[in-house]
Structure 1
């Protein structure tokens, strides 16, 4: 397993791009915590805090495809810098508002969300230019796996800043984190010679020749397969976030808020281990099998929650939680790889922008749904709802287009293309195969 990752990080610039793209996203998981503490302290209302968080998320979802389209046309590093500076300024402005003018945070949050740094979609669109075969599979798995750490470190950063200072300081710290991460990622893009994220002319032309898609093309949403992909991601992320909410609600019902962190950490640990193992496996995985594994893992959780079962101690669910998480990161990695394989080479960042929109919308839609289910039938009902969403995503997965030269049967891994060792703007690179 380690050999596969050593080989991956030996490819020039891969480690730097991956590290800085993750650093530029560190602020994201802690953002709702800092804003909720801040606005609730100002107003005494969690509803108003939720509105501010929701508008920030809405802004991100609305423009992710547009930012991707801009990055596909070039100047990715410049876009990252501008977004990082404006986003950090927006968060800082919210933090510095007087409490009596909390309402100004509403339009500020929406405007700030419109400039959410697009590092995730840009770097995912770049991987096929720098890696291929087994290395491409490994880098998507590594990203999906390391992302799990962000959901541990980000909330810790925000909660720690609130505990040691206050919510204003916490939000400013997150703003600084977003700015530093964006500047670092832009510098990494320039060092790698891919600051212009547009694909080499030869790669785009080859795709047009193979699809007859020269000239103006319709929206990606005009493709039935792409719409299915967006629906699948929406359901998957909604189900995953649903499990997180179920764990929090269960811990709250047991009057043990700290238990939620333990349960979520074990689930994330399973995902991390699964992702590390999956990234080292040779061949192209079957997307539908990964989704079926995620669905089965979440379905298995349902009987362990009240009122179906009242465990003598919640610690008994930890092995099941660990096993349930094993397929989460591998499934997300497989989804990213499949999207990379099916999107036109010169529209990959836009395609990953739609992925961001689907994931954000799925996350936003989950809270009211899980709340209604748990109010109606208890914790197990919420878990069943989350499981149903992931089962729906698994049911959609076999109907997605396979993509360019992406056989479903496993095959031996291949090394990175020669151009990965010396990427440069305008330089042609062989396209990697999605996972």
Structure 2
């Protein structure tokens, strides 16, 4: 289930890079590519809570397979459409691909309590969190290799194939085919009535700004260095750092507020115009704290969410990170023409803003409200 989920989620890491490079290959500006990537992330953020609610009322297999088929069709159509020649159509297809992103991550997190004994659930969540960076290590690499050695269209076709293949394997498993347990009646706001969770969601949105804008920073660096490979290498280095941090570094008794500060500080050196190899090396450092940031956020979100809204709370965390990523991509895309040093202000601002939000809301997130 976990392995298939990782394969099915590859498009979420591949698509932003593939869309940026597809627009560039069609002689469109970085701005259009950034808009496509931002629309994909934004609609993905909108779709996850909606699809998650549909899963709660039916079955993961039905919802995920339908969504994967629709997203795959949109990716294949994008491979045939020239973004520069048909910008409106390309934007619409990117929106469909994002909106129909299969809810595999939220679905799997909701399944752990049903799949495993209580004593094994902590280990499962740790493995889940540590393995997530694999998607964001492999995704940009695969997208960049296909774009550079074959074509951006091939990368978009691969997005369709990977999403459908991974989802199909998940859908064949018995837990995905089982109807979700009926939940208790809750307030119409669901988990959003928790003040502490709202603080956490605000910080997660700003984290998404930092992550989404790094893709555009990488493209600006690639333009400056004259090598398209950096468009994939910088996001890959960030994800690789997250993988290393998730597997090897697991500090006890550390607050999320402290982890957020440690994540934010390493973005400052990007303002000093590092060389291409230097930027790749620097990107590993904030990544070392990323997996821990995400793991602690999901654990905290589960604790802050009112009874009966745990799955929806996880879906909202995923959604707001995607929303922030869309905003970061769009904002960075508008200033990328001024060079990577200027573009680097966006991920720094997002990461610092997340740390400030968590520290200002320390009292609210210390207990459910």
| TM tier, smaller | 0.7 to 0.9
The residue number in structure 2 matching 1:339 is 301
The residue number in structure 1 matching 2:365 is 400
Higher share of residues assigned helix: 2
Match of 2:187 among 217, 222, 227: 217
The residue number in structure 2 matching 1:269 is 240
SS in 2 for 1:326: helix
**Relative to 1, partners in 2 of residues 1:136 and 1:398: Cα closer, same or farther, differing over 3 Å?**
farther
- Aligned-pair CA distance for 1:257: 5.7
Counterpart CA distance in 2 for 1:119 and 1:46 is: 30
Query: Is this contact kept in 2: 1:245–1:370, CA < 8 A?
Result: yes
The residue number in structure 1 matching 2:349 is 385
The residue number in structure 2 matching 1:356 is 318
The residue number in structure 2 matching 1:330 is 292
The residue number in structure 2 matching 1:195 is 177
Q: Which has the larger radius of gyration?
A: 1
The residue number in structure 1 matching 2:111 is 126
SS in 1 for 2:309: helix
Query: Is this contact kept in 2: 1:338–1:403, CA < 8 A?
Result: no
Counterpart CA distance in 2 for 1:168 and 1:141 is: 36
Deviates more, 1:44-53 or 1:254-263: 254-263
Relative to the length of structure 2, the TM-score reads: 0.82
Match of 1:107 among 88, 92, 95: 92
- Unpaired runs of 5+ residues, structure 1, are 1-16, 205-213, 405-435
The residue number in structure 2 matching 1:47 is 31
SS in 1 for 2:177: coil
| CA offsets 1:151-207 (integer angstroms, 9 cap, x no match) | 22112222232334322232122111111111111113x2xx3533623x6xx5xxx
SS in 1 for 2:160: helix
- Aligned-pair CA distance for 1:399: 2.5
The residue number in structure 2 matching 1:232 is 203
Query: Is this contact kept in 1: 2:304–2:368, CA < 8 A?
Result: yes
Relative to the length of structure 1, the TM-score reads: 0.71
**Relative to 1, partners in 2 of residues 1:367 and 1:398: Cα closer, same or farther, differing over 3 Å?**
farther
- Unpaired runs of 5+ residues, structure 2, are none
Query: Is this contact kept in 2: 1:72–1:346, CA < 8 A?
Result: no
The residue number in structure 1 matching 2:265 is 299
Please give the root-mean-square deviation of Cα atoms over the aligned residues, in Å.
Answer: 3.5
Deviates more, 1:28-37 or 1:175-184: 28-37
Counterpart CA distance in 2 for 1:89 and 1:169 is: 14
Please tell me whether residue 157 in structure 1 is matched to residue 139 in structure 2. Answer: no
